[in-house]
Amino acid sequence: YRPLSEDHLFDMEYWPLQLKKKGPRDHRPLLGRVAVVTGAGGAIGLGVADRLLEAGADVALTDVSEERLAKAAHLLGLKHGPERLAAVPFDITRMDQVENGFDAIGRLLGGLDILVPNAGIAHVARIEDLDTETVSRVMAVNFLGVFHGIKAAVPIFRRQGTGGHVVIISSKNVFDPGASFSAYSSSKAAAHQMGKIAAMELAPMGVRVNMINPDAVFGCGDVSSGLWDLVGPDRMRSRGLDPSCMADYYRDRNLLKARVTAEHVGNAVVFFASDLVPTTGATLTVDGGVTGAFPR
């Protein structure tokens, strides 16, 4: 009997394949998943994409504005690297563009596992002052955009046969609307109801559909919310308040006195997409606690 030499034992113990067992493992919950975020050039879309990338997903950014889209892709690329990112501009109000965009994303990233319909616009006006063209434009983005995204994703989910997630960025206004905000609130309520029905129809494929109701997300880093830039001052004036105090007003009206961020919304998306609970057709509020917006 002659024992192995210490050099030989060392080589065996520190053989690269042995070290694999000891090395750190990547436990990110969305590793290997492909996510699509519409309206990714805006504040919430940027925050959602950031959290999805942090959770390990490959992310396709979409927006109608190529300028906003390029900025979002640049910022996320600096933080996470460009390898897991794709930027595909298209207009979510056009079904043909959505289908072509999803085809391009499939070729670039290899499929679709998580769809986040987020794109939205708003308009402040009393019903008596609204015109049909404005209402149609808001509905086209906020409601038809969600419909187009889900409809285009269904055949992809069916072909893949691996389930999936749709996480709709809805709004606190679905349960707690305000005066002079009827076009926005109605369009978001319609998309919200579409999500509930999609949850029923897509469950046999293992696709879960859930909604997130944020409130008052004013920006993400140096990317401000185009929606709030446009409607924020008018919303404050409709309440007889000073527009310069907008952020403080929305913080102080919620139970937790919290400033809601785009990253908070993104964390909620990751929660749903991580399969931590067997949930579909649900609404998760991300608003600091607005009593009028409690789901019921």
- Separation of alpha carbons 260 and 238, rounded Å: 22
Q: Indicate which residue of 14, 21, 184, 196 is catalytic.
A: 184
Q: Which tokens sit at 2? A: 């002659």
* DSSP code at position 140: I
- Separation of alpha carbons 290 and 171, rounded Å: 12
How many CA within 13 A on the CB side of residue 262?
24
Q: 27-64: b or e for each residue (b if 16 or more CB lie within 10 Å)?
A: eeebeebbbbbbbbbbbbbbbbbbbbbbbbbbbbbbbb
Phi, psi at 198, each rounded to 5° = -60, -35
Residue 236: Cβ-neighbour burial (10 angstroms; 0-12, 13-18, 19+): middle
C-alpha distances in angstroms, 219 versus 15, 196, 227, 263, 266? 50, 28, 10, 10, 13
C-alpha distances in angstroms, 200 versus 196, 252, 269, 272, 293? 7, 37, 20, 17, 23
Query: Is 184 annotated in the active site?
Result: yes
Q: 1-16: b or e for each residue (b if 16 or more CB lie within 10 Å)?
A: eeeeeeeeeeeeeeee
Q: Indicate which residue of 21, 22, 188, 250 is catalytic.
A: 188
* DSSP code at position 5: P
Residues with catalytic roles:
184, 188
